[in-house]
A and B are shown apart, each in its own frame.
Chain A
């Protein structure tokens, strides 16, 4: 089975740095994803980690430790538009599988 945990809500200040954690226990692992979802909109892809370490993409970075079943998404220089839900998802190991198992998401509120 799959179990993916992330905090339900977080609040941070504009211009600050915030780290959103995700822990997972899955029967198979073929990569970890972070998606951003604004209220009423579709999720949009942020990052993908399949090997341990840090992946940096502009203001967003994502880290993975497979041995610990742990990932985090780091958002720097927060902007008001970053207020959204952030979804952690693990990809199935099955050959050719393209299905993702999602956590319930972390709702981030950025305040002035």
Chain B
């Protein structure tokens, strides 16, 4: 069974641009959560999607948004990029009613 995949793995953007990251969950997993990881703040929850609906949202500005498609693949978008958005963005998927989340390898975003 394939694991969680994320594309692209690395990305360099300029301040003010926008970016879209993609996450494909493990087959059969309908929950997809997104996290931002930085050295200073650690892993912080962005949002969770389940069956194409945002189920939970963390404390991030509205520049961070996401969506989920009918095949459970998810995308997150960051608009008007800031230097502080440089981070590793991880997505995780889980089965229905399961507490265990499986993380993807992440997308390393660098904003210059």
Most buried by B among A33, A35, A42, A91: A42
Q: Give the interface size class of chain B.
A: 20 to 34
State in angstroms the CA–CA spacing of A48 and B100 once bound together. Answer: 8
Chain A window 51-85, contacts with chain B (Cβ cutoff 8 Å), 1 for yes, 0 for no: 00000000000000000000000000000000000
Provided the pairs A42-B105, A94-B56 are in contact, do residues A99 and B42 lie with their beta carbons within 8 angstroms? no
State in angstroms the CA–CA spacing of A102 and B106 once bound together. Answer: 16
| Shortest CB distance A95–B (Å) | 10
**B interface SS class:** strand
State in angstroms the CA–CA spacing of A87 and B101 once bound together. Answer: 13
| Shortest CB distance A57–B (Å) | 13
State in angstroms the CA–CA spacing of A44 and B90 once bound together. Answer: 12
| Shortest CB distance A84–B (Å) | 14
| Shortest CB distance A7–B (Å) | 13
A98 an interface residue at 8 Å Cβ cutoff?
yes
Contacts of A42 in B (CB 8 A): 4, 90, 103-106
Q: Is the CB of B103 within 8 A of A99?
A: no
In chain B, residues 36-63, which have Cβ atoms closer than 8 Å to a Cβ of chain A?
A: 40-45, 47-48, 50, 55-56, 58
Contacts of B104 in A (CB 8 A): 42
B22 an interface residue at 8 Å Cβ cutoff?
no
Provided the pairs A48-B99, A94-B56, A102-B44 are in contact, do residues A43 and B90 lie with their beta carbons within 8 angstroms? yes
Binding site for A on B (CB under 8 A): 4, 31, 33, 35, 40-45, 47-48, 50, 55-56, 58, 90, 94, 99-106
Q: What are 30 A-B contacts with C-beta separation under 8 Å?
A: A31-B99, A33-B99, A42-B90, A42-B105, A42-B106, A43-B43, A43-B90, A44-B103, A45-B100, A45-B101, A48-B99, A50-B99, A87-B42, A92-B56, A94-B56, A96-B50, A98-B31, A98-B48, A98-B56, A98-B99, A99-B33, A99-B45, A99-B48, A100-B35, A102-B35, A102-B42, A102-B43, A103-B42, A104-B41, A105-B42
